[in-house]
Each structure stands twice: as structure tokens, then as C-alpha cells.
Amino acid sequence: MNKVKIGGRWVGDDEPCFVIAEAGANHNRDLVMAKELIAVAAAAKADAVKFQTYSAETLYSKKTPRFSYLEALTDKSTWDLIKEIELPREWQAELADEARRRGLFFLSTPFDHQAVDELAALGVPAFKIASFEIVDLPLIRHAAATGKPMILSTGLADYEDIQDALRVCRDAGNDQAVLLQCASLYPAPPARMNLRAMETMRRAFGVPVGLSDHSLGIHVATAARALGACVVEKHYTLSRSLKGPDHPFAVEPGELAEMVRCIREVEAALGDGRKLGPAPEETEMHQKARRSLVAACAIPRGTRIEPKMVTVKRPGFGIKPKYLDLVVGRVAKTDIEEDTVLTWELV
């Protein structure tokens, strides 16, 4: 069964898509802004809001080169930039309470063992592991050992990386895993999103799949739902004009709400795949807009019906066109006016 349970809710095949609003570092170390981001996620009807829990000291060497995609945004070193946008850990309990108060699941990606312990103590319903951390097997093992579902982003990963991460989870006694397709580019061009990899991973590893989306706009995330994404994670911001590395490629509040709406409409449109004729809402169209056999001319009572006396027209509550050969040669039981919809009672 390709399902996991997150906070009492099933996530996986034939279940509603689990939408994670990724606030990430877009709080700009402002608690009021962080709470406003939670309010935006709730208003958009996301299922969860997610932050990131890391410390520059345990995440990056001070000798890490600068990232080229950030050159136009800042002249700070990588270490200094990360230090500047850390989530103050003393906020986490308050943010978790705020999220729950607004009906959201609270998540935060842990980047060190202490973060795993802190978040577990707060009762997060799952752990999301970032793409870059999929090779940090000790961190994955530590998170998996809590028994909470593991959501693993797979940007940059090959089959071996994914298999190693899932093996570590299973060795820790945890078989609740979701794999997210991800392109680790900021923003990620559509041509590098590779949404078909979701189905590849679902077949290869037998777990629910989804998308961690860094592309611009909402169309790729919406398309992912149509291709079977059980989880969709999307970065969002209060405004793309704000300063910070993740604001420029994030969606704004109205876009986040529209993305969730589109995802819900897409999953409703997927249906159950069965073809059983008209739905109740289509009854009028079925009766009035389909075609049936119609008298092409007046047919007096007792006349043996010839092919030229019958045509095919709308509406559709008469004899089906496929029975034309059964009507031809029969005798009219009553006078039939031109344009009368033919029924079996008339012949």
C-alpha cells in the first residue's frame, strides 16, 4: 500500500494531495513576519507550513565558495549569509503553536541532530529531509529512528543515493517514506523539472511520491498533481521584492492560494477512471444533445418505413442511431409528423 500517515491523515495513492507551504528562510529573522507567513499558508488552505532549522556553524564550512545564483543578491560569504537567515530556535515552539491554532501541521527541515531532537519534542508529524542532506545518512537515521514519516527530497540524487536513504530508514525500523522529485536550481527551469521521475521512483521504490518545486509560477506544481504527486511542496513569500536568497523564486500569497485551488480542482478532475455513461449532472445533455432517429418526413399510419424517411438528429431520447436497420422495414403504428423523434412505441 503506497500510503503513509502524517498526523493522523493518510497521504498517498487515492488520497488528497498533501500541500506543504515552504516558508523556509523567508521569515527574514522577523517573528511577526514568520507568523504572517503561517497566516498566509492557512488562508491559502495548505495542509502544512514548513520552516528550516539549521545553524551556520553546523551547516557550512566558512571556506565554502559563494553560490553563483546569489551573486546579484548579496556580496556576503555563504557562511555569513546563512548565519544571517537562521531561524532562531527559541521561536519554534511559538511557531508550532501558531500553526496548530490556524489548523496547519507544523514542519521544519532539520539540518543537524539537535534540530531532529528539538522538532521531535515539539511533536512534528513528519520529518522533511532536504535534497542536499540525502547523503547525510547519520542524520536520516537519527530522524527515522523517531518513527515519524520521512519525506525525502531527491534533488541531485541518483538511484544509489535514494536506495541508501531508504535503507537507512528501514534499518531504523521506519518504512514510512515519501520521495519528492526536485530540481536543485533556484529558480528551476521547467526543462529541468523532470516530473516523470516521480513515476519512475514510485515504481522503483514502491513508496508515495511528490514534488518539491523551485520553478517559477504554479503550473508545474499543478501538473505534478495530475501526474500522481501525493505531496507538493512550494516556496512562498510575502513579497518577491523582499531581501533574501529565497524570495525571488517563491510564490506570493495570492499565487499560493491559487496553486492550492488548482491542485484541488485537478485531483477532482482525475476522477475514478471508470466509464459508466452520463453522470447525474449530465442527464439533460444526454437526453437533449445526443442524437437519435427522427422522421425525415411525414409518415402516415400503416406506411412501411424506408431509409429515406429517417434521419439522425438531436435530441437523444429517441431510438439510438445504431438501430436504424431495425427500424427500416417496420410499419408506422400511427401518423408520424415530420421531425418527430422516433420511439419504439411509434413503429
Interacting residues of 191 by C-beta distance below 8 A, sequence separation 6+: none
Please tell me the pTM assigned to this model.
0.90
Q: Are 251 and 235 in contact (CB under 8 A)?
A: yes
The confidence score (pLDDT) of residue 69 equals 66
Q: Are 154 and 201 in contact (CB under 8 A)?
A: yes
The confidence score (pLDDT) of residue 206 equals 97
Listed as own residue / partner, the contacts of 184-189 with beta carbons closer than 8 Å and 24 or more positions apart are: 184/131, 184/132, 184/155, 184/156, 184/214, 185/69, 185/214, 186/69, 186/214, 186/245, 186/246, 186/249, 187/214, 187/215, 187/216, 187/248, 187/249, 188/213, 188/214, 188/215, 188/249, 189/215
The confidence score (pLDDT) of residue 56 equals 76
CA distance 217 to 235: 10
Strands (E), 126-194: 127-129, 150-153, 177-182
- Per-residue confidence in pLDDT tens, the chain, 347 aa: 589 999 999 999 999 999 999 999 999 999 999 999 999 999 999 999 999 998 878 777 787 787 776 666 666 777 777 777 899 999 999 999 999 999 999 999 999 999 999 999 999 999 999 999 999 999 999 999 999 999 999 999 999 999 999 999 999 999 999 999 999 999 999 999 999 999 999 999 999 999 999 999 999 999 999 999 999 999 999 999 999 889 999 999 999 999 999 999 999 999 999 999 999 999 999 999 999 999 999 999 999 999 999 999 999 999 999 999 999 999 999 999 999 999 999 99
- Domains identified in the chain and CATH numbers: 3-270 (3.20.20.70), 280-346 (3.90.1210.10)
Extract the C-alpha cell encoding 338: 415530420
The confidence score (pLDDT) of residue 75 equals 66
The confidence score (pLDDT) of residue 198 equals 98
